[in-house]
Amino acid sequence: MSPRRGEADHELLLQAVREAGACALKRFQKEQKVWRKSKYHPVCEADIETNAVLRDRLMAARPGYGWLSEESEDSAERLERRRIWVVDPIDGTNSYLKGLPEFAVSVALVEDGGALLGAVFNPARDELFDAVKGGGACLNGAPIAVSGEADLAQAQILASRSEHREAGWPERFRAANVHAMSSIAYKLALVADGRFDAAASAWPKADWDISAGCLLVAEAGGTITSIAGKELTFNRERPLHATCLASNGRLHQALIAELGEWAEK
């Protein structure tokens, strides 16, 4: 990607996620239609509306790019495109519907299996995290970096509420150091910002859940892999990852050792 095109794509991305965040915020803490894709995955009117804002904005400007979104029907056509937009219009819909400010619009531009650009926007807190491959990560335009914690016993770890209840995170680590939050995209952003030392999921995550957050963590100086320590590659035929683990890098091997039983076979 040329520097000029990269800058234009970056600006387009930031504008699009801000517009999408404003759309999501209009229905936040208000009644709306809700249905369920699965036990843990509700969908609401705001998901669909926010997805439409992002698709209209991004694909109109870059019709030659591919598209992969949680709220759009998948198409094999994306596999023929070198660059694709990977989108979660509202990551953390459960929190969003409960009126908790722990959700985010998450968008990445992926090329050849890796993210070139990423943005995670929590409009309820006006926190726009973004990253450019090779160019660092920022929060509202100011550079951010992962924490310096190197002692696993002191590490502050983020996990989803469902995993917190059912996968025993508080028993695995010091209970007071494990914090429950729904949105994996926002969790990854908070690790990138150094507010927490690690985030992990032993349950499957899709490209749209983690692609933008992966770039944030990496560009902020951290490490993100599967729990088995494998690299995460995006825009595959099946855009799903068995597990993911993000950390400040200093804790990564200790976390892999501790969470080994969850490593994918």
pLDDT of residue 262: 65
- Domain around 63: 3-143
Q: How far is it, in rounded angstroms, from Cα 54 to Cα 192?
A: 24
pLDDT of residue 103: 97
Q: Judge if 219 and 136 occupy the same domain.
A: no
Strand, coil or helix: 184: helix
Residue 134: other Cβ atoms inside 10 A: 9
Q: Which residues contact 144 (CB under 8 A, 6 or more apart)?
A: 129, 137, 138, 192, 193, 194, 220
Q: What is the pLDDT along the chain (265 residues), one digit of tens a residue?
A: 556 667 999 999 999 999 999 999 999 998 888 888 766 678 889 999 999 999 999 999 999 999 999 999 888 999 999 999 999 999 999 999 999 999 999 999 999 999 999 999 999 999 999 999 999 999 999 999 999 999 999 999 998 877 656 556 667 788 888 898 989 999 999 999 999 999 999 889 999 999 999 999 999 999 999 999 999 999 999 999 999 999 999 999 999 998 877 666 4
pLDDT of residue 263: 66
Q: Judge if 174 and 239 occupy the same domain.
A: yes
Strand, coil or helix: 226: coil
Q: Judge if 62 and 193 occupy the same domain.
A: no
pTM of the predicted structure, to 2 decimals: 0.94
Q: Judge if 139 and 180 occupy the same domain.
A: no
Boundary of a domain, candidates 80, 110, 143: 143
Q: How far is it, in rounded angstroms, from Cα 222 to Cα 147?
A: 9
Q: Judge if 19 and 133 occupy the same domain.
A: yes
Q: Judge if 249 and 167 occupy the same domain.
A: yes
Residue 91 tokens, joined: 């990551």
pLDDT of residue 164: 56
pLDDT of residue 168: 63
Q: Judge if 113 and 180 occupy the same domain.
A: no
pLDDT of residue 36: 81
Boundary of a domain, candidates 122, 143, 164: 143
Q: Judge if 116 and 163 occupy the same domain.
A: no
> Number of folded domains in the chain?
2
pLDDT of residue 39: 65
pLDDT of residue 165: 60
| CATH number, domain containing residue 104 | 3.30.540.10
Boundary of a domain, candidates 111, 143, 175: 143
